[in-house]
């Protein structure tokens, strides 16, 4: 096999993704395994790093894993897996202790870890580090990973596709875009920790890396997926052009901020007796409906979050990052309300996994937001997702590997030739798809969905997928075999290859979300159908997807 600069052609385990799930998994894997930790950007960029509010665990005297379980199941709207939630809630306290031992500096109240209350939690159980909890966790985990000799961090490298053994269907590695080339790297086990897919929506709190790659890759390889229609929309993302829907944490409303419209009226109580503190999906729909009813152009309108009812000292202590980011965008939170609107925030659906993170494909594992472990059901309880990354990542300590015995094979180079102007016109199509697709998905599978727009959304995505398949790069890469290394003549190929890979994944997850949302003819949790506004007990089942087949679980 051709040896590429500094990159081993085989690892015991390849972990794709360096957010909380990927970093923690890599740390927990037995040290005797060689681990390749791949991230398409730098380690510092992930949704985990952006997490603000905190991480849940029943550690106070008046709390218990049983209460944590109860709250999680209530939020999940009938679709949580009891065993998975029990696993999460029971293991949470010891996992938090492990993070503290590693050096994560959660806020303290005296000697004790400080705990806050978040919506739908019946006890104070959310640990935090000011309003930058994710950053604190990721910085500590990264420092730990760097001390592990068995882990090689491979940055700016995008996983393209899974590599399955044709006879057994076992996952034996992945193809990667690495230093302007497409290469194949073997592994005895592959762990997908690629995070969510918020970028498929025009408005999202997620970072640019959240393009649903793990779900799309595993779907193309025939993995079993679940509940892809369930997306949590966060009600309060900053709506200033260029601010990338920066999240204004739920904790701000928890501490007493008011949601008001252009006339200054607190409208949330028109839609739910709990007003601003109703569940996230209810508040998101309230804002959506209110803007539909009152704004001249609801697609461009926003409401306002007034945080001045909170005592000034408390704002300064609890929300330093929010103050700073708002200030950067010209908003002085102490003197004016913040313009906000809902945005896609968390994807409950994903690759079906069991308590040992196994997927339906032998040798393939999934951890974190890309997985569907069963803990979130139809709606995620706030602060349970960082926890899921840690609790399930810890489970990888028990990984045992079969000795699959790699056979060395030689590779040849396949050179992709295209003129400068052809590269440009190809990029123009990719750019168009990246702009138009999220707008389409926001309109047809956003906060309120209905049959007609879902059907027309699917039809449009099919048209775009055909256009994508006809690109010269698509034809070249679809035909590249594992005995070939893809070589590109221009130096800037890496960027276009990455854009190609992400666009393909976004088209696939758009199709999967739209199809699953059309299939479920009821409203539940993060899925709201205007034409089926009620929850239907006959639909208290999962939506399962493999290849082109969509069906209900038993």
Ligand X SMILES: Cc1cc2nc3c(=O)[nH]c(=O)nc-3n(C[C@H](O)[C@H](O)[C@H](O)COP(=O)(O)OP(=O)(O)OC[C@H]3O[C@@H](n4cnc5c(N)ncnc54)[C@H](O)[C@@H]3O)c2cc1C
Using CB under 6 A as the criterion, which residues of the chain lie in contact with ligand X when the complex forms?
A: 16-22, 38-41, 46-48, 50-55, 133-134, 158-159, 193-195, 205-206, 209-210, 213, 247, 346, 368-370, 383-386, 389
Q: Which helix (H) or strand (E) element contains residue 539?
A: none
- What Rg, from alpha-carbon coordinates, does the chain have? 23
* Cβ nearer to ligand X, comparing 52 with 543: 52
Q: How far is the CB of 151 from ligand X (least distance, A)?
A: 14
* Cβ nearer to ligand X, comparing 20 with 394: 20
* Cβ nearer to ligand X, comparing 18 with 303: 18
345 closest CA partner among 315, 311, 318, 379: 379
Q: How far is the CB of 247 from ligand X (least distance, A)?
A: 4
* Cβ nearer to ligand X, comparing 171 with 386: 386
Measure CA of the first residue to CA of the last residue in the chain; give whole Å.
Answer: 46
Count CB neighbours of 40 within 10 A. 24
Structure tokens at 169: 């269907």
* Cβ nearer to ligand X, comparing 284 with 523: 284
Q: How far is the CB of 340 from ligand X (least distance, A)?
A: 13
Rounded Cα distance, 12 and 320, in Å: 42
Rounded Cα distance, 306 and 337, in Å: 4
Q: Which position has the token pair 């009812």?
A: 309
Q: How far is the CB of 209 from ligand X (least distance, A)?
A: 4
Q: How far is the CB of 207 from ligand X (least distance, A)?
A: 7
Q: Which position has the token pair 């380690």?
A: 43
Rounded Cα distance, 79 and 539, in Å: 10
Which residue, judged by CB position, is nearest to ligand X in the bound state? 19
- What's the longest Cα–Cα distance across the chain? 70
531 closest CA partner among 475, 469, 448, 455: 448
258 closest CA partner among 295, 281, 282, 283: 283
* Cβ nearer to ligand X, comparing 17 with 377: 17
Q: How far is the CB of 194 from ligand X (least distance, A)?
A: 4
Catalytic entry in 181, 280, 380, 524:
280
Rounded Cα distance, 228 and 508, in Å: 12
286 closest CA partner among 275, 295, 296, 297: 275
Catalytic annotation on 280? Answer: yes
Active-site residues, by number, are 280
């Amino acid at each position: 096999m051709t040896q590429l600069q500094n990159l081993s052609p085989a690892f015991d385990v390849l972990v794709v993704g360096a957010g909380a799930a990927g970093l923690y998994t890599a740390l927990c894997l037995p040290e005797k395994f060689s681990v390749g930790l791949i991230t398409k950007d730098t380690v510092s960029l992930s949704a985990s790093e952006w997490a603000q509010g905190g991480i849940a665990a029943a550690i106070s005297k008046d709390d218990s894993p049983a209460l944590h379980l109860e709250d999680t199941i209530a939020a999940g709207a009938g679709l949580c897996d009891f065993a998975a939630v029990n696993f999460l809630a029971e293991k949470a306290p010891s996992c938090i202790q492990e993070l503290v031992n590693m050096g994560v500096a959660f806020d303290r109240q005296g000697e004790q870890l400080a705990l806050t209350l978040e919506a739908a939690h019946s006890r104070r159980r959310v640990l935090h580090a000011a309003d930058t909890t994710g950053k604190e966790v990721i910085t500590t985990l990264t420092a730990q990973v760097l001390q592990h000799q068995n882990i090689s961090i491979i940055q700016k490298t995008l996983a393209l596709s899974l590599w399955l053994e044709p006879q057994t269907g076992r996952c034996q590695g992945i193809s990667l875009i690495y230093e302007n080339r497409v290469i194949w790297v073997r592994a005895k086990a592959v762990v997908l920790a690629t995070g969510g897919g918020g970028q498929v929506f025009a408005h999202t709190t997620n970072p640019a890396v959240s393009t649903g790659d793990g779900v799309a890759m595993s779907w193309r390889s025939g993995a079993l997926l679940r509940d892809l229609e369930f997306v949590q929309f966060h009600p309060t993302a900053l709506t200033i052009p260029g601010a990338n829907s920066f999240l204004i944490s739920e904790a701000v409303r928890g501490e007493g901020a008011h949601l008001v419209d252009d006339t200054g009226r607190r409208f949330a109580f028109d839609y739910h007796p709990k007003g601003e503190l109703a569940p996230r999906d209810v508040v998101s729909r309230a804002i959506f409906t209110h803007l539909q009813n009152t704004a001249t152009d609801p697609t461009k309108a926003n409401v306002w979050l007034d945080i001045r009812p909170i005592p000034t000292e408390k704002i300064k202590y609890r929300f330093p990052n929010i103050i700073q980011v708002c200030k950067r965008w010209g908003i002085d939170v102490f003197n004016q309300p913040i313009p906000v609107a809902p945005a896609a925030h968390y994807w409950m659906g994903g690759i079906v996994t069991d308590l040992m993170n196994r997927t339906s494909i032998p040798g393939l594992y999934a951890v974190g937001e890309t997985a569907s472990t069963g803990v979130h059901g139809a709606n995620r309880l706030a602060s349970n997702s960082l926890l899921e990354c840690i609790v399930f990542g810890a489970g990888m300590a028990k990984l045992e590997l079969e000795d699959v015995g790699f056979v060395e094979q030689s590779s040849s180079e396949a050179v992709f030739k295209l003129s400068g102007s052809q590269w440009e016109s190809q990029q123009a199509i990719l750019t168009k798809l990246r702009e138009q697709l999220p707008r389409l998905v926001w309109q047809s599978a956003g906060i309120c969905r209905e049959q007609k727009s879902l059907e027309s959304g699917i039809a449009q995505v099919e048209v775009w997928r055909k256009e994508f398949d006809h690109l010269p790069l698509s034809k070249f890469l679809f035909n590249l075999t594992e005995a070939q290394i893809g070589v590109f003549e221009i130096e800037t190929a890496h960027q276009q290859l990455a854009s190609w890979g992400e666009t393909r994944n976004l088209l696939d997850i758009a199709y999967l979300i739209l199809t699953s949302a059309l299939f479920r003819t009821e409203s539940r949790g993060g899925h709201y159908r205007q034409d089926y506004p009620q929850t239907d007990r006959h639909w208290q089942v999962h939506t399962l997807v493999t290849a082109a087949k969509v069906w209900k679980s038993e």
